[in-house]
Structure 1
Amino acid sequence: MLHINSFLSAPHGLFRNGNSSVSLTSGLLMLASSLLTCSTSQAADNPIFRSLTPETANLDRYQWHYRPVLIFAPSKTDANYVQQMAILEKSKVELVERDIIVLSDTSPASKGYLRSQLNPHGFEVMLVGKDGGVKLRQQKPLSSEMLLSTIDKMPMRKANL
């Protein structure tokens, strides 16, 4: 079974399996099949869905490799947060295709470093480009159409098509 970890860490868009390589297209098809079998309850365990820890001081480790989507919410039960996660869950394959990683901070009391830097108010979602710049920021759930079309207009995304 193909694990998403192998995709996210694979160099040059190839899956490595011992001495053999599988083409990106074949790998993406296997990945899509694997992702579609995951249940909604596994979203938090999926490597594209991660918690933004209070210690995270910057997003340098993602720069030039991923497009982080940052989600700040008062709690995991916040209606906007639940809606946003459901929207993203339905678009997992498209998120992977666009090198998106979803980082959530649902603990305002923990006073995370990025939370204090970005100063979100209540629920807020942000798209950060591979260059590290904030490309989109809003205080309501972001539709997958808006997210994906914003990314598809980016020069780096166009260069990869």
Structure 2
Amino acid sequence: MRLTPLALAALIASPLWAQETGTTVISEGAAEEAAEAVAAEVAGDADNLQILAASEVTLDDLLWLRRPIVVFADTPADPRFTEQLELLTARPGPLMERDAIIITDTDPAALSPVRTKLRPRGFQLVLIGKDGEVKLRKPFPWDVREITRSIDKWPLRRDELRRK
């Protein structure tokens, strides 16, 4: 399932309504919830590609287990954010083969542990190795092919390929 950026923006911008009062509910985690909703909607057919909010995970939990791909934005309505999620979920297979996990953070005010550690400005794509080291930062969306080519150059990934 592939949504257009306009459809994603509409999904994000739609207010959360109170059950019977007809008033708009705004919570502290509304931005994170919107990002999760977008990720879940976009990733509906992405098999087992995990997309988590930064508030749900710490990078230390993933050490030596997964390769985090962190997508930051100042708002879930950022067109670069929606484009990056579309690119990542369009081809989940190569990312799953490389033990990747997607982490999103669209709430600068929340100061999640991931945001505090990586200190992004605006939109940023961050590739992190299983060793917990930042391998690459990009200020614009990247295609899965570019991401996997970068991952395949890392020493630990080359060792994994040799062992297979």
TM-score by length of 1: 0.68
| Map of 1:61 onto structure 2 | 61
Secondary structure in 2 matching 1:140? coil
Identity of aligned residues (%): 36
Shift of 1:110: 1.4
- Contact kept, 8 Å, 1:127 with 1:137, in 2: the verdict is yes
| Map of 1:49 onto structure 2 | 51
Q: Which shifted more, 140-149 or 109-118?
A: 109-118
Dislocated runs of 4+, deviation >6 Å:
none
| Map of 1:154 onto structure 2 | 154
| Map of 2:19 onto structure 1 | none
Secondary structure in 2 matching 1:130? coil
Query: What are the within-5 Å matches in structure 2 for residues 19-98 of structure 1?
Result: 40=42, 42=44, 48-53=50-55, 56=57, 58-98=58-98
| Map of 1:99 onto structure 2 | 99
Q: How many residues align?
A: 122
Corresponding letter in the other structure for 2:86: A
Corresponding letter in the other structure for 2:100: I
| CA distance in structure 1 between the partners assigned to 2:94 and 2:47 by the alignment | 18
| CA distance in structure 2 between the partners assigned to 1:39 and 1:74 by the alignment | 20
Structure 2 unmatched runs, 5+: 1-39
Corresponding letter in the other structure for 1:79: P
- Contact kept, 8 Å, 1:72 with 1:124, in 2: the verdict is yes
Task: Name whichever structure is richer in strand by fraction.
Answer: 1
Corresponding letter in the other structure for 2:63: Q
Secondary structure in 2 matching 1:65? coil
Corresponding letter in the other structure for 2:146: M
Secondary structure in 1 matching 2:103? strand
- Contact kept, 8 Å, 2:53 with 2:105, in 1: the verdict is yes
Shift of 1:40: 3.1
Shift of 1:115: 1.2
Distance 1:105-1:45 versus aligned 2 partners, 3 A rule: farther
Shift of 1:44: 9.2
TM-score by length of 2: 0.67
Distance 1:144-1:99 versus aligned 2 partners, 3 A rule: same
| CA distance in structure 2 between the partners assigned to 1:125 and 1:137 by the alignment | 6
Shift of 1:151: 0.7
Secondary structure in 1 matching 2:135? strand
Q: Which shifted more, 68-77 or 93-102?
A: 68-77
Structure 1 unmatched runs, 5+: 1-37
RMSD of aligned C-alpha atoms?
2.4
